[in-house]
Amino acid sequence: MTDEPTPTTPRSDQPSSPSTPAPAPLFTPFEALPQSVSHTSRASSIVNPVPSQQLQHASGSVPANPDSAFNPANPADSTAIARGLAALDPLAVRPRISARILCIVFGALLIAAAFGVWWLGVRTETGQSYDEIVVTGLHNALPGWLAAALDPFIADNLLPAPLNLTVVFSLLFGLAALIVMIVRKRWLLIGQAAAIAVLCYAATFLKELLPRPYLIDTATPHANSAPSGHTILAATAVILLLIAVSRVWRAACALIAAVFSSLIGLSVIVGSWHRPSDAVMSVLLVGGCTLLVLAVTARNGMDDPGTRVSSASIQIVGTIMITAGVLGCLYATYVIWQVLPGLALSAAWSASGAYLSTIVGVAAVTSLTVGLVLAMRQLTAAPLSRIGLIGAPPAPPRD
């Protein structure tokens, strides 16, 4: 008796089990990238997602149409990047709402303070007397080191055109800011810088619009001189450089901006071209306009997401500048209050207090203004998602 072979196919009378379809492979963002891409490039693709057109035509590991490869310089692709980043983390393409609000609030406060200084210096008898005492006598009461620092900016023009060192250095700082933004390819930041420059230039026309009532007899002309065009030019140039550079250079540029703006503000007073209220008003206007424009920072006007870390230098320098500015303003106000009875009478004994308060006040207002711009630039350019607005405090050095 022979054994029958075992059938290899099911009998017709037995029901066949339905075949289960194989699961579709999961698609990952890396499938749209060539296999030759390095691990570093793949890691960066998470931050820079591939446009949707490429994802739809992707098959296997190579894009279906090599001619339509992803190009970050393409406006359409950059828009796709921004939308992808905004979907993952809104802070990747725009600052926190709280940072924007702070920029608007601080900017409005600085502009309001600028007009408050103008009102006190122009619309009151004591203010006009204070300005007159300082503008006619400060050049004879400067410390030696400060006089030496201001002399180059008070000297005659270097060329037949009105190009003294103030204008030359301001143009160099502004050109450096433009070059930095072009090299970093911060096109939106260039637009912001242009808006700041236009607003600050428009502020110079206030000199022709603001009145100056005749309240006391003065040796200087009674025409309005606020704000100071040279101070606005200098402060605008160095602040543009501050917002143009990357994180590691911001603290150093803030120090340069504070020193240069203070020197120019004092030089126009010592040269008897402007009154103290003119210089202080100019710095406050530049700071206010800058903060208002920083409120609309977005996309490539910010730091790259992979480079946003807390900065000990910005935290330390910004804190010192803001604190020193507030304390300096309080001290200058106290000195003015001490000599206030003499200012009303233009008494000679009040001159020393007026000189001291002017030097301290100009430096303090400049320090406070630049410190606020430094802090707000960091908040709007590098919002951190996990460790707070500015980041973790710097750790103490280990032994």
Which tens digit of pLDDT belongs to each residue from 172-182?
999 999 999 99
Which range of residues forms the domain containing residue 276? Answer: 96-381
Backbone angles phi, psi at 98, to 5 degrees: -65, -35
In a domain, 17, yes or no: no
pLDDT above 70 covers what percent of the chain?
Answer: 72
pLDDT at 188: 94
In a domain, 87, yes or no: no
DSSP state of 142: -
In a domain, 64, yes or no: no
pLDDT at 190: 97
Check: CB of residue 284 under 8 Å from CB of residue 370.
Answer: no
Alpha carbons 184 and 249: distance in angstroms, whole number = 13
Which amino acid, 395? A
b/e 364-389 (16+ beta carbons within 10 angstroms → b): bbbbbbbbbbbbbbbbbbbbbeeeeb
Give the count of domains, the chain: 1
In a domain, 88, yes or no: no
pLDDT at 83: 58
In a domain, 394, yes or no: no
Is pLDDT above 80 for 78? no
299 vs 373, more confident: 373
Name residue, tokens 């410390």.
143
Alpha carbons 219 and 198: distance in angstroms, whole number = 34
Query: pLDDT tens digits for 194-213?
Result: 999 999 999 999 999 999 99
In a domain, 297, yes or no: yes
Alpha carbons 149 and 262: distance in angstroms, whole number = 11
Which of 38-52, 86-100, 168-182, 334-348 holds the top average pLDDT?
A: 168-182
Alpha carbons 395 and 384: distance in angstroms, whole number = 18
In a domain, 290, yes or no: yes
Contacts (Cβ under 8 Å, ≥6 apart) of 19? none
Cα Rg for the chain, rounded, in angstroms?
A: 31
Alpha carbons 86 and 3: distance in angstroms, whole number = 72
pLDDT at 157: 63
Alpha carbons 289 and 195: distance in angstroms, whole number = 9
Using pLDDT thresholds of 50, 70 and 90, give the confidence band for residue 155.
confident
Q: What angle do CA 25, 29, 32 make, to 5 degrees?
A: 90
Check: CB of residue 365 under 8 Å from CB of residue 284.
Answer: yes
In a domain, 360, yes or no: yes
